[in-house]
Every structure is written in C-alpha cells, then in structure tokens.
Structure 1
Amino acid sequence: MSNWADLSTGKRIKHLRGSDLTQQGLAEAAGVSLALVQKAEQDRGELSVGSLLKFAAALKTDVAVILGQQAPRRGMNRDDRAALHHLSEAVHDSALGEWEGVGDPSTLGELSKARDLAWAAYWASDSAKVSSLASKVLMEGQVRFNSATGFEREQLALVLASTYRVAASCANGFGKRDLALSALTSAKHLAKEAGDPVVSALLESTLSWIYLRSAKTPRAVAVAERAALAIEPSFSKPARPELLAYGRLMISAAVAASRREDEHAADDYLSQALAAAARLGRDEKLYGTHFGPTAAKTEAVGIQVAVKNYGRALKLADEPEMQKLPRTMSKVARNRYKLDVALAQCMAGLYDRSADTLTEVALDAPQWVRHQALPGVIGKRLAKVSVARVRSISELIGVPLIA
C-alpha cells in the first residue's frame, strides 16, 4: 500500500485542503456546514456519497482520491493515462482543424461502424479501445466532414457528435471534466448542424452526468428536465427515438435529484421514466444509449439507495425479472447496478451478501471498479465486520478499500 492509502479519509481531506484553504473556506466551496468539514477531518462518522462528491468537487479531485483508492496525480495506471492522452489530442486537434497528415479518410459507413464499436468498448470498460476508435473517427471524420455536402454532411455530423459524446463520457468517468466539457461542446455544435433533436437531447443527458460528477446537482437536474420537456413525446403515438431519449433524461433528472436526497422529486422523475420504458416495451439502444424496462428498473434501485430507502431498493432488486439480467446489458451498467445492490445489502446488515456482491463486481470489472466511489464506501462499512474479507476484495481490485 502507498503512504496515501495508509492515511485516514479525514487526513486525506485535510492534506488536499492544504494551508491555503481554511476549513470555513472548504465548507463554503463545497456547500456544506463547517461542522461537517470538522467532523470529516476528525474522522468522526462516515460521509455520504453526496458529501464525498461535494468535497471532491471543492478540492478539485476525484472521490477515489479522497477514499485512498487512487493517489493524487498518480491514480491512473499507465494504460489509462496513455488512452486519455491520445483521446485528448484527438478531441482538441479535430475540433481545431489540426488534421494535417490524415490520409484518405474512411467512408461514412466505415466511420459509423467505428463509432458503434467505440460505444461498445465504452460499455465494456475498455478505455484503450475507446480511445483508439474514437480518435480514428474524430480525425478522419472531420477531414471528410470538411468537404462533404448535403445528406452525407448531415450524417457525418451525427457520427461525429455521437463520437465526441463517447469521448466526453470516457473522460468524465475518469474525472477529467475539462476534457469531457470540451468534447461535449464540439458535439453540440455538430448536432445542431445535423438538426437531430434526439442526438441533442442525449448530449444534455451526458452534460447532466458531468454536472452530477462535479457535485453540481441543481444544474444536473435542471439540464435534464429542460431537455426532457423539449423532446417530450406524445404518449398516444410516441416516436420510439424520442421516447428513448425522454426516458433516459428522466432517469438523469431522477438520479441527480436523489443525490440531493430529494425523494419526492426523484420519485416523480422516476415514474415518468418507468412510464416511458413501459411504452417502449423492450430495451433498446440508440447512439450508444441504452434504455428500456431493464435500464429503468436497475436505475430505480440506485435511486432508492441514494435516498436511503435500502429496504425498498432490495425489494426491487429481489423481483423475479431482476434476478437474471439480460445478456445484452453492458458490463458497466450491470456492475454499476450491482454496486448499488451491495451498498443496500450492507446498510441492511446483510454483510456476507454485500461482500459477495462486491466480489462479483471486482472479478467482473477490476479496471472499471477502481474509478468508482461506492467500493470504498462499502469497504469501510464491511471492515467493521470483517477486515480480512475487505482486504481480500481489495487484492482482487488492485486498490485499497480501507486504510
């Protein structure tokens, strides 16, 4: 274990705050009370996920750093750093027109296929593949887009917008908010030129997630709600793409509201998402976005966990259709759901089941789980029952869950 991992959470927060920022200053920057900052730095009690997000945003770091899963500036492994560096160059160079040296670009069909493969790699948590494929589409696609006209130009704009979006999603997952926002800005310009309201709506869903990861929950809710209202379909004769986008945006609003522990608003948004999912009748995928009955129900579990309705979350998770998730469900979505279940199990005192669920995630997605906040939160709670079990899970993940 590194020295950083050996520190307590309180000492990490104090170290990140440094001498230039007072406790009162941190409280104001994070939007929390001075008492909570003092309590956190003295390691009195446990911080909620919402509080951890606020501290991470105020300290300009990631939750994983505060929890000791990653060290400051050295948290990512070499492959992830290389992938993000490659992706960053492609995002900025392509948007700035710095594509000299790119030879004969791929066809529209080839670029569309590469875009789809980039999204598949994202949902499989393969950042190196996302970077390679997205970089190809952005550089070659911009070359072709620059000289295209008519229908081909519109279709290239859609392909590029969706590819910038997967780049933004990948960057946001690693806590690289500036890169995510840069990619999303380019995506918005292209979506506007293409004139596709569904793509534009899905970009707002990603923006809502970026705000959520930055602990800007009011903005996350507002962005998702505004975009949903703009694309709200007629439920008598709904168009399926609009229905999918609307449902996904309602989920984004519900998740953000739940992080504010606004149970009433979260339930309202969630009910709209569930209604949209029921109208779809099956899980569908569009421009890298998955939505339908399974997506809505698994997100519902996480929303109940966030508002501390652990019994309700477990009741939903125990429903027959949730016992065998479809094979089409992505690795990232499946394991994000399982982390929510593991936390609910832990909070309900089902420690062995929680540890088993967390182990499943660690074995299924060891690279992805390193960048998530919940394993550290769950690990600290499980350690009160069995430190040895938590340390064995830490070895599977490759990062410490407890100091």
Structure 2
Amino acid sequence: MNEPCALNLRLSSHQKKDRAMPDRSTSLGLAGLLKSIRKRRGLSQRELSELSGVSLSWIRKLEQGTAEDTRMETAHRLARALRVPTSKLIPAGDSAPPDASDVEQWTTVRRALEGRFDRAEPEEVPTLEGLTEIFTSAAVPALQSNSYAQLQMIFPHLLRDIDRLVDLSEGPAKLDARRLRSQVRQITAWLMSHTWQHEAAEHAIALAIDDAPDEHTATSATDWQCWGLIRQGRLAETREIATRWADNIEPRMTKASREDLAGWGRMMIRVSVASTRDNRPGDAEDALRFAHMAAIGIGRDYVPSTDAWTVFGPATVAMIRAENALIQDRPDATLKIGSRIDGARFPHPRNWARHRLDVAFAYIKTGNVPAGVEVLQDVRQRAPEWIMTQRYARDILGEVIEQRRSLTADVRELADAIRLPY
C-alpha cells in the first residue's frame, strides 16, 4: 500500500473542517438557511437570481417556505453562486419517491431479497457451477443490454437459490458461494437504486458488503453503495466513504493488477462525481486526475473479471469529465469531449447511453435543440427499456418542451415513450 495520496489528505482536511463547523441546516431549514447565507454574502434575492440563473420567483418561494424542497441541479446553481457546498442546501438529499409502476414490477425481487418467495422451494439442490452459469450467461447480459423484463424474471429465482447454496456450503466452497451472492445482491441494489427504491437498495448493498469475502468484491460493492448515495444527493457521505476506501486500497502502480487499478480508479470517480455536485471543483479535478492515472495504467476500457457489470478505462474517465463539465455549466466542453469518444467499441451500452444523455442536454443548453432531440431519439432506439426509467431523460425533454411554443409529432411521441408527466 502506498502512502496516502495528496487528494486523500486534502479531502480529509475538508471533512475535518465540515465536522468542526456547527451545522445550522437542521435548525434553520432550507428557507432560513438560504436566506442566512445570501445575507452573509451581501446579495439581494435579485442579485442571487442573476448570479445563479435560478428564477427570482423560485428563490422567493424557497426563502418564504412555500417551496420546501428543490432539485439538486437548482441547489447546485445556488450553492455555486453562494460559494458553499451543494450538500449545505440539500441536507435531506434529493431523492424523489419511486414510480408506483416500478414498485409493483419489482415486488417479487424485493420479496426474494428479504427471503420471502412466492413459490415453494424446489427439491433440487442448487450448485455453484449452475448458478454461476445463470449469473454470467443470463443475468449479466440482461443487465448490460437493459433487458429489465428478463431481470424481473431471473432475479427472484437467483436470489432464492443462492441463499440456499450458501446455507448448504462449507469451507472454501462457502466463500465462493458468498462471493457469488454478493455479486447477485450488488446487481439487485443497482436495480433498486435505478428505479429509486432506495430503502431496498441500501438493504441489498449492506448484505452484499457483508457477504464479500475478498477485497475486489468488497470494492465493487462499495462502488455501488456510493452510486446509490449519489442518486439520493448524499454527497458528503459519498465523498467520505469513497475517499476512505480509495485510501485503503491505493495500489502501487508498478505492481498493480488491472483489477486493482480498476477498483481504485472507480473510487476516484465516485469522489470526483460527488465533489463536482457538491461544488468542490478542486477536489473533483484532483480525483479525476488520479482516476485518469489508473485508466492509463489499464490502457483500454476494461470489464473486470470480478465485476462483470462495470467498466473502467480512459473512455469511462472521459465520460465522467464530460458529465462534470455539464454540471459546472460548461456544455461546450461536454460536447467537445463527447465528440472524441467512440461508443462503437465501448463495452457496456448502459454507460454509453448515460453519456449520450449528457451530450443531448449539452446540445440543448447551447441552443441546438434539434441535435439534442436527435440524440434522445437515438438513445431511445438503442435502449428503449432503460430510457423509460431515466428521470434525467424526462428532465432534458422537459427543457425542450419549455422552450417550444409547439411540438413536433416526434417530440410528442418521445414524451409519451419516456413517461414525461403532463
């Protein structure tokens, strides 16, 4: 293990400052907190509106308490203008409740995760070889291709059978069974977070971490734990967990395996993403620089053998850089980076689709609405099940509709397809 890198020392310093400062957010609430910070900065509501790009009417509603919450993007704009961490303005996170249809569709998976099964257990005894084959040849490809209907069919049975296998196994075979169960539970956590069912996701990832019998499996589980926390807007918590874990697993570059580099690099990505959203651009850039070092060490985007549903490498880091630029209100940089990334050879369609949503939003932010809509249509064609669950896609198309007096037939049809509310 190397000495802790400068980034870790720097972030630890920030965390100490955060803990040392009394947190008034709980007592003041968003309305009082926003007003207090604005006054400390010597800004009127109108001046804050001009600096942040948030409408004056919305700032007034927030300060008057008639709007009790706001989206993370709005909080981030206000935080940048006020020069405070974004998490200061979203102390309770930014997680909307799941759609009722998603809750219903994933009921059997949640019940299986809790050890409750709708059918009697079959007499046949499951085997590690058989469950590994189902996991690698059916579950992982279904996840990679965004085939959620297949996943809803596979996972109740997989969760049931892997529980029984762990119970029946002993010695080294039990460690192998636990490793597989950790991986199954990690994907379950991803599916729950992806559909905004965060309570179930946290339960799944806690079980996955507890099951992990080795460092690589534990790193993968921690990576998905951080992703779920980011989805909820729990940015400071994400940064602290990812920083601590990255410090623990920091490899020697000259001796590290690709799995070592990928695990450490993904932790750096989580630090960077959380820091960008939390209005800490210096920390975000430092973390992404370390992630880039790990990616260069790997050479080309790579799917770890111990984590077959993730990917890490230079293109992955470039996608995160494009995402960070968009959050920092630099859409031109997002488009420039996006133009250099070749998705044809990228290992996971899901990651590529997520990046293309950033490109679509960047086009719209720069005024090229037709290009943005064209990208959305392309993503929908390539990943129709995936885009239906993407609130980000709905937000992007919502921006388009807001800017247009009338809508084309294609835009109206796309709005219906991604379940954009009226």
TM-score scaled by length of structure 2: 0.75
How does 1:106-145 map onto structure 2 within 5 Å?
A: 106-116=126-136, 117-145=138-166
| C-alpha displacement of 1:222 | 1.2
What amino acid does structure 2 have at the position aligned with 1:86?
T
1:17 corresponds to which residue?
A: none
User: Deviations for 1:301-342, whole angstroms, at most 9, x for unmatched residues?
Assistant: 1121112222221211122xx1x3134532321111001111
Q: Does the CA-based 8 Å contact 1:205-1:224 persist in structure 2?
A: yes
Q: Does the CA-based 8 Å contact 2:72-2:233 persist in structure 1?
A: no
What amino acid does structure 1 have at the position aligned with 2:387?
V
Decide which of 367, 377, 383 is 1:349's aligned counterpart.
367
2:326 corresponds to which residue?
A: 305
2:226 corresponds to which residue?
A: 208
1:279 corresponds to which residue?
A: 297
1:49 corresponds to which residue?
A: 73
1:149 corresponds to which residue?
A: 170
What amino acid does structure 2 have at the position aligned with 1:257?
S
Q: 1:258 to 1:139 in 2, by over 3 A?
A: same
User: Deviations for 1:276-322, whole angstroms, at most 9, x for unmatched residues?
Assistant: 11110122223222111222222221121112222221211122xx1
Q: 1:228 to 1:350 in 2, by over 3 A?
A: same
What amino acid does structure 2 have at the position aligned with 1:173?
H
2:29 corresponds to which residue?
A: 28
1:90 corresponds to which residue?
A: 112
Q: Does the CA-based 8 Å contact 1:261-1:306 persist in structure 2?
A: no
| C-alpha displacement of 1:249 | 1.2
Q: What RMSD, in angstroms, separates the aligned Cα atoms of the two structures?
A: 3.2
| C-alpha displacement of 1:92 | 0.5
Structure 1 gaps, min length 5: 1-23, 63-72
What amino acid does structure 2 have at the position aligned with 1:114?
I
Q: Does the CA-based 8 Å contact 2:94-2:233 persist in structure 1?
A: no
Q: Does the CA-based 8 Å contact 2:72-2:90 persist in structure 1?
A: no
| C-alpha displacement of 1:386 | 3.0
| C-alpha displacement of 1:243 | 0.9
How does 1:373-392 map onto structure 2 within 5 Å?
A: 373-389=391-407, 392=410
**How many angstroms apart in 1 are the aligned matches of 2:233 and 2:33?**
12
Highest CA radius of gyration, 1 or 2? 2
Decide which of 259, 262, 270 is 1:252's aligned counterpart.
270
2:96 corresponds to which residue?
A: 61
Q: Equivalent residue of 2:303, what SS?
A: strand
| C-alpha displacement of 1:55 | 7.1
Q: 1:211 to 1:308 in 2, by over 3 A?
A: same
User: Deviations for 1:103-149, whole angstroms, at most 9, x for unmatched residues?
Assistant: 22332122112222323222322223223323222211121211212
2:338 corresponds to which residue?
A: 317
Structure 2 gaps, min length 5: 1-24, 36-44, 46-57, 77-86
**How many angstroms apart in 2 are the aligned matches of 1:269 and 1:394?**
41
TM-score scaled by length of structure 1: 0.79
Q: Does the CA-based 8 Å contact 1:121-1:130 persist in structure 2?
A: yes
- Structure 2 residue 136 is matched with structure 1 residue 105: no
